[in-house]
Amino acid sequence: MVTFNNLDGGTPEKSWEAANWPDRFAALSTDGLGRLVVVAAHPDDESLGVGGLIAHVAGLDVPIVVIVLSNGEASHPSSPTHNLARLAQIRRIEVTDALAHLAPNAQVHLLELPDGKLAEHIDLAAGAIVEAIGDVDASTWVVAPWRADGHPDHAAASAAADRAARERSARLFEYPIWAWHWSNPDAPIWSDSTVRVFDLLPTERKAKARALALHRSQVGPLSDSFGDEVILPAGFQEHFTRTFETLIEVTVKKSGGAPARPQTDAPAPADPNHTLTTGYFDSIYSSGPDPWGFETRWYEKRKRAALIAALPRQRFGAALELGCSNGVLTAELAERCDTVLGIDLIEQPLSIARARLAGQPGVRFERRTVPADWPEGEFDLIVLSEVGYYCSSADLRRLLERCRASLAPDGVLVACHWRHPVAECPLTGDAVHTQLTHVVGLQRTVHHLERDFVLEVYEPRPALSVAQRDGLVP
């Protein structure tokens, strides 16, 4: 592994300009690209290495998944002002903000593996990349840090991406970051590699520059104190202002042929890119007013009791129930809340819910399609019960962002979902709750897992426990 210091002068950008890189290597075209999976060892790798490519593909209406393996919490090991937890929080926010600017519809997965120790977690990283690729498809590109970049975490990210690309027969590209700093245009590593150049439009360069600027903890100092110095000095940043990006194409060799997905007795999931619409629910309610047995099944009664018992406060002000159906859970929420707004996609269950709670002045119901048609106001309690898996991955991310934005400063988000696969649903309950862990600024305070359902409570950081609120513990 190459030894280098980020604060050293390194190879100046003028040396790379003089090498006429675009004339030296073949251009890369995105023709035929069906899906882009970007792997970053740390927050900011994606913006530095392929921010322009991400912005370009976002304009093609091609699915994009970005997997950030670590929080980059070890970027300032000697900082006197920021501990690891604080740095992790800052960098999670920075990378989600940067990607929201580059590709608003991209799926973002923060694996939160330990910074500096990715080599110990290659199996986990490879599994996440395999899941992001999906079915075997040569039109999928996996783009990861370069194995020869000189950083051990970048080598580990490359190893995980290589393994996943082999398993799923995807094309594999790798992007240099630190090699621009310690290497030079005549180094053998370039002539021994299949280098490709991707030309950027002015709008894509501008988007990349903005995304990089959003990584404030890296492009500027944390403070004036020793140990809080800038990680990416101005001279280094010049390498990423070019009119092109450089990728190394890696030949992926399959072992034993293209693998099939594991065979189970479970039904295959629906398309994760399409949210279920009114037609699906109209057909469900055509069987009767209570198709899921909310009023009759012990399973449903017990699950509601668990949800109500998990609420961390005795009383709430304004509550929002997403997917309220016929109002059975709404009635129990009304006993703990001053007001409850229940929303659903179709009118049939809402008419039943209105009749059920006609005597409750603080309860109202509205027909809305979320996340697009989101209700105004701030809520002390938001209940997301048996709703998330009807959404596409992109719509679920928007839905959770809306929940976070509408949550009061001391609000509570409760989520509960069926864990068994349902053929028509784009996502599983477990996938919904995995995405919940990526919502910036929320802390999980309750985690109840059974074979049949998962129930979780999230509150804004730093959250107090129930015992703390009652003064039983400090």
Average pLDDT, the chain: 90
Question: Cα–Cα distances in Å, from 383 out to 171, 301, 465?
Answer: 41, 16, 19
pTM of the predicted structure, to 2 decimals: 0.57
| pLDDT attached to residue 253 | 59
- Segments of the chain with pLDDT less than 50: 1, 255-269
Dist CA 395 CA 469 (whole Å): 35
CATH T-level fold of 13-250:
Rossmann fold (3.40.50)
- Three-class SS string for the chain? CCCCCCCCCCCCHHHHHHCCHHHHCEECCCCCCCEEEEEECCCCHHHHHHHHHHHHHHCCCCCEEEEEEECCCCCCCCCCCCCHHHHHHHHHHHHHHHHHHHCCCCEEEEEEECCCCHHHHHHHHHHHHHHHHCCCCCCEEEEEECCCCCCHHHHHHHHHHHHHHHHHCCEEEEECCCHHHHCCCCCHHHHCCCEEEEECCHHHHHHHHHHHHCCHHHHCCCCCCCCCCCCCCHHHHHHHCCCEEEEEEECCCCCCCCCCCCCCCCCCCCCCCCCCCHHHHHHHHCCCCCCCCCCCCHHHHHHHHHHHHHCCCCCEEEEEEECCCCCHHHHHHHCCEEEEEEEECCHHHHHHHHHHCCCCCCEEEEECCCCCCCCCCCEEEEEEECCHHHCCHHHHHHHHHHHHHHEEEEEEEEEEEECCCCCCCCCCHHHHHHHHCCCCCEEEEEEEECCCEEEEEEEECCCCCHHHHCCCCC
pLDDT digits (tens, 9 = 90+) for 6-56: 667 789 999 999 999 888 899 999 999 999 999 999 999 999 999 999 999
| Residue 6: closest CA among 189, 224, 229 | 229
Instruction: Say what the pLDDT of residue 440 is.
Output: 85
pLDDT of amino acid 254: 53
Domain ranges for the chain, please list them.
Answer: 13-250, 278-469
Query: Residue 317 to residues 121, 253, 412: CA-CA distances in angstroms?
Result: 44, 59, 11
Cα–Cα dist 139/177, whole Å? 25
Fold: same for 13-250 and 278-469: yes
pLDDT at 257: 37
Q: Is the peptide bond before 114 cis (omega within 30 degrees of 0)?
A: no
Is CATH 3.40.50.150 the classification given to domain 278-469?
A: yes
pLDDT at 268: 42
Q: What is the pLDDT of residue 260?
A: 31
